[in-house]
């Protein structure tokens, strides 16, 4: 896997595990997140001979200009991104019917939906400008982006609608890629519950005995999809822990 990958949401959970796995597979990986110190910790945790292949960059994917600047830096410094793993996501704190929730709801939609749009647009621009026809865009969606499970206490808030938007976004992007005659692949991965920071104490309290995946389980799936031969494209992968009921 001698290519450059950008992974969003690299400071914890699934994105962190993806960075470790892709670097170990020989890729040059740019990990993006807002918590820069976590990215430095990630780099330091890698085996010494792999550290130079990891670049941590502070980037808030909900801010368009930061995404544009980051991909320009990847173009200039590393020759451009061949693979993008759209993984950054937030749950949000407030319910849709809570008062004064505009900033919170906006943050969820800007991060989970527009962040994916902007990163994909910039990765596509970079691929097109270099005439690279075989890139790969992976999108970490969710099982709640296909069917909304009943969670006691309505723990999903604007998160579930945002992930439904990601489901539609993925298929529209696929059509746009086809129109623009690129063989760049799009893969959507929808996990069930994963034991990471986003699955916060409130959600755990609402679903106390829920079986959970580990971040590494989802990272394995990402690597598997990226490694498929040129004629194979995995459109949609659902990955759940054994015993999950919804």
Supply φ then ψ for residue 76, to 5 degrees: -70, -40
- Looking at residue 146, what DSSP letter applies? T
Angstrom distance (rounded) from CA 113 to CA 167: 10
- Find the shortest distance in angstroms from Cβ 162 to ligand NJP: 8
Q: Compute the least distance from the CB of residue 2 to ligand NJP, in Å.
A: 26
Which residue, 129 or 243, has its beta carbon nearer to ligand NJP? 243
Nearer of residues 96 and 183 to ligand NJP, judged by Cβ: 96
With tokens 């998160």, the residue in question is: 159
d(CA 206, CA 62): 28
224 among known catalytic residues: no
Our CB check for ligand NJP shows the closer of 27 and 39 to be 39
Token pair, residue 113, equals 């939906």
Kind of pairing between the strands at 236-239 and 185-191: parallel
Residues across the chain: 246
* Residues found near ligand NJP in the complex (CB under 6 A): 8-15, 32-35, 38, 60-62, 87-90, 111, 140, 142-143, 191, 193-194, 196-199, 215
Whichever of 125 and 146 has its CB closer to ligand NJP, that residue is: 146
Closest among 3, 233, 9 to 126, alpha carbons compared: 3
How far is the CA of 177 from the CAs of 27, 61, 127, 186, 234, in angstroms?
Answer: 24, 22, 12, 9, 15
CB closer to ligand NJP out of 1 and 198 = 198
Least distance (Å) from ligand NJP to the CB of residue 136? Answer: 17
Structure tokens at 182: 């690129």
Q: Give the CA distances from residue 4 to residues 84, 119, 206, 210, 237, in Å, rounded to whole numbers and listed in that order.
A: 9, 15, 40, 36, 23
Which residue has the closest beta carbon to ligand NJP? 13
CB of 14 to ligand NJP, least distance (A): 4
Identified catalytic residue from 141, 159, 186, 225: 159
In angstroms, what is the minimal distance from the CB of 197 to ligand NJP?
Answer: 4
**Pairing label, strands 136-140, 83-86:** parallel
Which residues are catalytic, by number? Answer: 159
């Amino acid at each position: 896997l001698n290519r450059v990958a950008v992974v969003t949401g690299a400071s914890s959970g699934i994105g962190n595990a993806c960075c470790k796995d892709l670097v170990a597979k020989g890729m040059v990986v740019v990990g993006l997140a807002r918590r820069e110190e976590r990215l430095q910790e990630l780099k330091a945790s890698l085996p010494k001979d792999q550290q130079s292949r990891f670049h941590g960059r502070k980037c808030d994917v909900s801010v368009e200009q930061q995404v544009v600047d980051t991909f320009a830096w990847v173009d200039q410094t590393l020759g451009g991104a061949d693979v993008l793993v759209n993984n950054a996501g937030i749950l949000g704190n407030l319910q849709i019917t809570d008062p004064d929730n505009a900033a919170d709801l906006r943050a969820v939609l800007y991060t989970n939906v527009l962040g994916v749009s902007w990163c994909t647009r910039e990765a596509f621009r970079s691929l097109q400008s270099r005439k690279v026809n075989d890139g790969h865009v992976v999108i970490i969606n969710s099982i709640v982006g296909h069917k909304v499970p009943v969670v006691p206490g309505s723990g999903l808030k604007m998160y579930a609608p945002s992930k439904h938007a990601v489901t539609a976004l993925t298929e529209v992007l696929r059509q746009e890629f086809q129109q623009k005659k690129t063989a760049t692949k799009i893969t959507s991965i929808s996990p069930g519950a994963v034991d990471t920071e986003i699955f916060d104490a409130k959600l755990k309290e609402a679903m106390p005995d829920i079986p959970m995946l580990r971040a590494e389980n989802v990272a394995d799936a990402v690597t598997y999809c990226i490694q498929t031969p040129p004629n194979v494209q995995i459109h949609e992968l659902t990955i759940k822990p054994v015993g999950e009921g919804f």
